[in-house]
Amino acid sequence: MFPKSQTWLQERAAGSLIPEQLLRLAPHSRQRSALCCRRIKITLHGETYHIKLSGSAAATATQRPYFVSIDGVSEEVLSNR
């Protein structure tokens, strides 16, 4: 069996990766106004990416997961606290 990260990469490359369901934020959450529909465009090593921040999950003592769409592909990224 492959390590989880290697399986994830194989599923992503094959186009069979199914994103986890996101939990909805409370209507008056402070997070909602900070995160809702935030879009940015970045250029990294000559490649331009369109990124949409769609939400985040509960933070641990060291990290916070964010859910983004990068050029239409859903991803989860971790931010160190």
Query: To which residue do tokens 């996101």 refer?
Result: 22
pTM over 0.85: no
Question: 8-52, pLDDT tens digit by residue?
Answer: 778 878 888 777 676 666 665 555 445 555 888 888 888 898 888
Give residues with Cβ within 8 angstroms of 57, minimum separation 6: 23, 64, 65, 67
Q: CA quadruple 31, 59, 20, 26: dihedral positive or negative?
A: negative
65 versus 30: the higher-pLDDT residue is 65
What is the C-alpha separation between 65 and 80, in angstroms, rounded? 9
